[in-house]
A and B are shown apart, each in its own frame.
Chain A
Amino acid sequence: GQNIDQPTEMTATEGAIVQINCTYQTSGFNGLFWYQQHAGEAPTFLSYNVLDGLEEKGRFSSFLSRSKGYSYLLLKELQMKDSASYLCAVMDSNYQLIWGAGTKLIIKP
């Protein structure tokens, strides 16, 4: 079956760095997405990786290793507004998104 695993909840301190991991097993692979979802709001697109390596976009970076079925989202210089759920999603061979359950990130002052 298809499976996306990510931690349920993480806590970090304002100004620090946090890494949210995602492992996947899917039928085919056409890219991995990270979305941010604040409480009560719809998800917003953060990043897309289809090749191995690190993609940097401001304070956020996303890494992919296809051979290991592994990705992480790295958030630097954490701000209170980064408190949200972070969703990992993989596009399978049918171009359908398989969603992880999300990681709730709590930022403390």
Chain B
Amino acid sequence: GAVVSQHPSWVICKSGTSVKIECRSLDFQATTMFWYRQFPKQSLMLMATSNEGSKATYEQGVEKDKFLINHASLTLSTLTVTSAHPEDSSFYICSARSTSGGQQETQYFGPGTRLLVL
């Protein structure tokens, strides 16, 4: 199956710093990538949809100036949490949609990045 990687898997940082998370599709091209956030024992929450070469589409309530998304190539999207605060501590998961030309457009998830802001 399609493989999506995320880096780093764990981040601990001080309040006020910025953190960049990378999401890569390793064996397929992904015109669309998604960024999710998941708090403990809660369901996935879509933050934004990222299309290669264009601006990301943010979900209601997600600050685009705080969560910067860049999708510069068909295999790489980055999420930068700017001026992180303790309430931003969460599990951030990216997914990439495989567009193989068929009807199925499965989303494959990266392993996730745990962010802890002290």
Interface residues of A (CB under 8 A from B): 30-31, 33, 35, 40-45, 48, 50, 87, 91, 95-97, 99-102
Contact partners of B43 in chain A: CB under 8 A: 87, 99-102
Q: How far is the CB of B111 from chain A (nearest CB, A)?
A: 5
Report which residue of B34, B43, B108 has the largest number of chain A beta carbons within 10 angstroms of its beta carbon: B43
- Contact assessment for A99 and B104 in the assembled complex, using a CB-CB cutoff below 8 Å: no
- Contact assessment for A45 and B108 in the assembled complex, using a CB-CB cutoff below 8 Å: yes
Q: Is the contact region of chain A dominated by helix, strand, or loop, or is it mixed?
A: loop
CA distance A57 to B93 in the complex (A): 26
Q: Is the contact region of chain B dominated by helix, strand, or loop, or is it mixed?
A: loop
Using known A-B contacts A42-B111, A45-B1, determine if residue A99 contacts B44 with beta carbons closer than 8 Å: yes
Partner of B93, one of A30, A42, A96, A101: A42
Q: How far is the CB of B93 from chain A (nearest CB, A)?
A: 5
Q: Does B82 interact with chain A (Cβ within 8 Å)? A: no
- Contact assessment for B103 and A31 in the assembled complex, using a CB-CB cutoff below 8 Å: yes
Contact partners of A99 in chain B: CB under 8 A: 43-44, 46
Q: Does B18 interact with chain A (Cβ within 8 Å)? A: no
Q: Which 5 residue pairs are nearest across A and B when measured between Cβ atoms?
A: A42-B109, A42-B112, A101-B43, A42-B93, A43-B109
Report which residue of A33, A42, A43, A102 has the largest number of chain B beta carbons within 10 angstroms of its beta carbon: A42
CA distance A35 to B108 in the complex (A): 10
- Contact assessment for A41 and B111 in the assembled complex, using a CB-CB cutoff below 8 Å: yes
- Contact assessment for B110 and A30 in the assembled complex, using a CB-CB cutoff below 8 Å: no
Using known A-B contacts A43-B44, A100-B43, A102-B43, determine if residue A50 contacts B103 with beta carbons closer than 8 Å: yes
Closest B residue to A85 using CB positions = B43
